Chain A
Amino acid sequence: MTAPGNVAGVQKLTGLFRKQIFIPIAALLVLIIFNLIADPSFFEITYAQNSAGEPVLSGYLITILDNASELAILAIGMTLVTAASGGQDISVGAAIAISGSVVLRVLCGDNPRPEEMQASILTAFLISCLVSMLFGAFNGTLVAYFNIQPMIATLILYTAGRSIAAWINNNRLPIISDPAFGYFGTFMPGIPVPTPIFIAIICMIITALVLKFTTLGLYTQAVGINPNSAKLNGINPSLIKFITYVIMGLCVAVAGFIKVTRFSTINYSVVALDIEMDAILAVALGGNALSGGKFSMASSILGAYVIQFLTTTLFKFNVSSSALPAYKAVVVIVLVVLSAPTVREKAGKVWRSIRSAKAGKEAA
């Protein structure tokens, strides 16, 4: 017989197992333990000189937090879109190209190599937000009011997005030489932590506040679980779906701004390539059903960091960037299979039978 305290502990543990956030946490723990065993220097953080000659923090952990910023921001929008419409937005990569292109177009005007910027960075950012939200509204209209499946509706922008981005700048690749523009994608002078980390944290705080103090989260889940009963309860399902796509557009604008400030230029065909797949993966790794309904924002964001952790780990072990997807696929499949309900049920049965056998032995 087990002690009562022990039983409560076991129940708490199984409760944690059932929590959604358990999946990304477990994946993160596995990766951390793997790195600790393979090479503990992975977790070292040192001071190094950046290109401007200032001391900045450097190390794999900083790289992960820095590079995952765009993905984490996109995961916020993708979670809402997935929850409300039961489908995914596959146009985010192309939309990032558009928003980045708009920022450069506003700042450069007609001259691709301007000596000084034509407008303030804030203006450019706000205009790119507006454009991205318009494209989000386009996707949202197709999904919410024309009842087209999200993946198919966003396929349109996926096909045309990079071409539109190239068209905005007349197919030229503008470069901004003003160092102030690069502050947002690299380091602010005097601050040793990369700026994208702060931007991502600000986005998360805003999201947390919005979810806490507005009914957006509740309505989104209601629409995702059953649009008809949501309608009977006085919620407008089409409007909620539409709003989530506009929010996705806003997230895209922020992510695009970070992307374009990292290098102060843009390459339409490569920028944020396949990032939509990673963003959807982040949502799935967070244990959210891709068919919509209930969601956990924290799990999705954590999922984004898990993906970046995995990528950086693989890079550290000298996996070439073109072969990287193969290893990523294996890890993803293992994680997804382990977290599949059927597998967990079977594992649970095996676990219970072992425990009951043990208990039987003890009783005897």
Chain B
Amino acid sequence: MGKVLNRKGRLVPMSDTNLLLTITIVVFFAMYLAAMLFIGRGFLKIQTLFNILNENAALIILSCGMSIVMITGGIDISVGKLTALICMSAAVNLDYHNGSVLTAILLSLAIGIAFGVVQGYLVAYLNIQPFIVTLAGMFFAKGMTTIVNSTQFNVQNEAFLALKNTRVYIPFLGSVNKLGKFVPAYVEIGVIVAIVTVILLFILLRWTRLGRSFYAVGGNSQSANMLGINVRRTRFAAHLLCGLLAGIGGFVYFLHVGSGAPSHATGAEMNAIASSIIGGTMLTGGVGNIVGTFFGVLSLSTIKNIVTLLGLDDAWWTNITVAVMICIFLVVQSIVLLRKRSRS
């Protein structure tokens, strides 16, 4: 286990990143297959999978940003409250200030980038611990949301609602309903954005200089420095990227819920961290993969769906199951890595 064929046809140990990624993907498919076999019902419909995507498009984007920061060895716990702030600002812009969809998008991105720049500067150039900086960012976003507007309201802007209700139908996929009519499967716009983001970031991390330096800085910042990588600029770039992704993710979340409320995206930062971990990103830095994060989000919400479908409706069961799942993942990961270390 844990060996792959290299280009010369020899068996070599897998890198940590690939090993953890493989575990995640296998677990996700095993879980989904088990759900199809033993629960059946909803899981047999292809739309269930797409609904999981629809509901988690924003979380996928947020988790990607989180993974990048985690790969460089930092953390960003402000993204959840930042999403709430972006939703509220965009909603107020659309309904109270005669904004258009374009201004709402620009506003979302601007808020995200602003947070990224400030947090990145404080972390990278002033050497303040990322946890404290983004904790302050979280507090700030939380307070600002209620200062912008303290109550929940649904957006009435027509252009926005048209965009929100746009469905992208998947060709050849769908299911036959009770009346014998074929219902095509669909996804929302946010899912397209999320998947494009995942692909772009995968390319960035794998084949660009910036992406490789994220891993180098996270793995060992001193040796990265000796290799001529600008450590500060790389850290800054990671936080900037995370902020930008929070901006995109915030707007996608807004597009999904169509309202502004201080309670939006509560706990999203912890879900994003959990997804990244399930996807094989390690908080110590240098190890991680965007595809893993993508499957991490899917695994997390699949387990939630399974718990609901099993009839364990009481709200506490979901949380306890998710916690047990994170626990199992962590223990498996740590055992695998420990065994690998001791063998080498």
Chain A nearest CB from B292 CB (Å) reads 15
Distance of A277 Cα from B326 Cα, bound (Å): 21
Q: Mark A321-334, 1 if CB is under 8 A from B, else 0.
A: 01111111110110
Binds A, one of B87-95, B126-134, B178-186: B126-134
Whether A171 contacts B316 by the Cβ 8 Å rule is yes
Distance of A330 Cα from B141 Cα, bound (Å): 11
Chain B residues with CB below 8 A from A330, complex form = 140
Whether B284 contacts A149 by the Cβ 8 Å rule is yes
Chain B nearest CB from A231 CB (Å) reads 16
A217-273 CB contacts (< 8 Å) to partner B: none
Chain B nearest CB from A90 CB (Å) reads 8
Q: Known contacts A147-B338, A148-B334, A149-B283: does B322 contact A159 (CB below 8 Å)?
A: yes
Q: Known contacts A336-B128, A337-B128: does B140 contact A148 (CB below 8 Å)?
A: no
Chain B residues with CB below 8 A from A73, complex form = none
B69-114 CB contacts (< 8 Å) to partner A: 75
A50-89 CB contacts (< 8 Å) to partner B: 88
Chain A residues with CB below 8 A from B316, complex form = 162-164, 166-167, 171
Whether B320 contacts A325 by the Cβ 8 Å rule is no
Whether A342 contacts B127 by the Cβ 8 Å rule is yes
- Taking the complex as formed, is A341 at the interface, i.e. its CB lies under 8 A from any CB of chain B? yes
Most buried by A among B128, B146, B274: B128
B144 contact from A159, A163, A289, A326, Cβ within 8 A:
A326
Q: Known contacts A167-B316, A290-B132: does B330 contact A323 (CB below 8 Å)?
A: no
Q: Known contacts A163-B315, A326-B140: does B122 contact A337 (CB below 8 Å)?
A: yes
Q: Known contacts A148-B334, A160-B319, A329-B136: does B146 contact A323 (CB below 8 Å)?
A: yes
Chain B residues with CB below 8 A from A289, complex form = 129
- Taking the complex as formed, is B166 at the interface, i.e. its CB lies under 8 A from any CB of chain A? no
Residues of B in contact, count (CB < 8 Å): 47
User: What residue of chain A has the Cβ atom nearest to residue B81's Cβ?
Assistant: A325
Q: Known contacts A325-B139, A332-B139: does B127 contact A160 (CB below 8 Å)?
A: no
- Taking the complex as formed, is B147 at the interface, i.e. its CB lies under 8 A from any CB of chain A? yes
Whether A163 contacts B319 by the Cβ 8 Å rule is yes
Distance of A153 Cα from B319 Cα, bound (Å): 15
Q: Mark A132-152, 1 if CB is under 8 A from B, else 0.
A: 000000000010001111011
Chain A residues with CB below 8 A from B150, complex form = 320, 322
User: What residue of chain B has the Cβ atom nearest to residue A334's Cβ?
Assistant: B136
Chain B nearest CB from A327 CB (Å) reads 7
Chain A nearest CB from B177 CB (Å) reads 36
Q: Is the interface of B mostly helix, strand, loop or mixed?
A: helix
- Taking the complex as formed, is B13 at the interface, i.e. its CB lies under 8 A from any CB of chain A? no
Chain A residues with CB below 8 A from B129, complex form = 284, 289-291
Distance of A280 Cα from B314 Cα, bound (Å): 32
- Taking the complex as formed, is B224 at the interface, i.e. its CB lies under 8 A from any CB of chain A? no
Distance of A284 Cα from B136 Cα, bound (Å): 12
Chain B nearest CB from A92 CB (Å) reads 14
A147 contact from B128, B320, B323, B334, Cβ within 8 A:
B334
Q: Known contacts A159-B270, A164-B316, A167-B316: does B330 contact A328 (CB below 8 Å)?
A: no
- Taking the complex as formed, is B282 at the interface, i.e. its CB lies under 8 A from any CB of chain A? yes
Whether B144 contacts A156 by the Cβ 8 Å rule is no
Q: Known contacts A151-B283, A160-B319, A326-B140: does B334 contact A342 (CB below 8 Å)?
A: no
Chain B nearest CB from A215 CB (Å) reads 28
Whether B330 contacts A322 by the Cβ 8 Å rule is no
Whether B139 contacts A329 by the Cβ 8 Å rule is yes
Distance of A280 Cα from B137 Cα, bound (Å): 15
- Taking the complex as formed, is B327 at the interface, i.e. its CB lies under 8 A from any CB of chain A? yes
- Taking the complex as formed, is A199 at the interface, i.e. its CB lies under 8 A from any CB of chain B? no
Q: Known contacts A171-B314, A326-B147: does B136 contact A333 (CB below 8 Å)?
A: yes
Distance of A325 Cα from B139 Cα, bound (Å): 5
B140 contact from A166, A281, A325, Cβ within 8 A:
A325
Chain B nearest CB from A58 CB (Å) reads 28
- Taking the complex as formed, is B161 at the interface, i.e. its CB lies under 8 A from any CB of chain A? no
Chain A residues with CB below 8 A from B257, complex form = none
Distance of A326 Cα from B318 Cα, bound (Å): 31
Chain B residues with CB below 8 A from A204, complex form = none
Whether B132 contacts A336 by the Cβ 8 Å rule is yes
Chain B residues with CB below 8 A from A166, complex form = 315-316
Chain A residues with CB below 8 A from B144, complex form = 326
Distance of A136 Cα from B258 Cα, bound (Å): 41
Q: Mark B324-344, 1 if CB is under 8 A from A, else 0.
A: 101100110011001000000
Whether A151 contacts B75 by the Cβ 8 Å rule is yes
Distance of A289 Cα from B128 Cα, bound (Å): 10
Q: Mark A158-184, 1 if CB is under 8 A from B, else 0.
A: 111011101100010000000000000
Distance of A145 Cα from B302 Cα, bound (Å): 30
Chain B residues with CB below 8 A from A290, complex form = 129, 131-132
Chain B residues with CB below 8 A from A164, complex form = 316, 320
Distance of A280 Cα from B262 Cα, bound (Å): 24
B135 contact from A142, A162, A277, A343, Cβ within 8 A:
A277
Q: Known contacts A146-B331, A152-B273, A164-B316: does B133 contact A326 (CB below 8 Å)?
A: no
Whether B315 contacts A329 by the Cβ 8 Å rule is no
- Taking the complex as formed, is B268 at the interface, i.e. its CB lies under 8 A from any CB of chain A? no
Q: Mark B274-285, 1 if CB is under 8 A from A, else 0.
A: 100100001110
Given A284-B132, A340-B126, 14 more pairs with CB closer than 8 A: A149-B282, A151-B273, A153-B330, A155-B273, A157-B323, A159-B270, A160-B323, A163-B317, A171-B314, A277-B139, A332-B132, A333-B122, A337-B126, A340-B128
A-B contact pairs, 17 of them (CB 8 A): A142-B327, A146-B331, A151-B273, A151-B283, A158-B270, A159-B270, A159-B319, A163-B319, A171-B316, A291-B129, A323-B146, A326-B139, A328-B139, A329-B136, A333-B140, A336-B136, A337-B122
Seen from chain A, the residues whose Cβ lies within 8 Å of a Cβ on chain B are: 88, 142, 146-149, 151-153, 155-160, 162-164, 166-167, 171, 277, 280-281, 284, 289-291, 320, 322-330, 332-333, 336-337, 340-343
Please name the 8 residue pairs, one residue from A and one from B, whose CB atoms are nearest each other, closest first. Answer: A326-B143, A163-B316, A160-B323, A329-B140, A329-B139, A325-B139, A325-B143, A163-B319
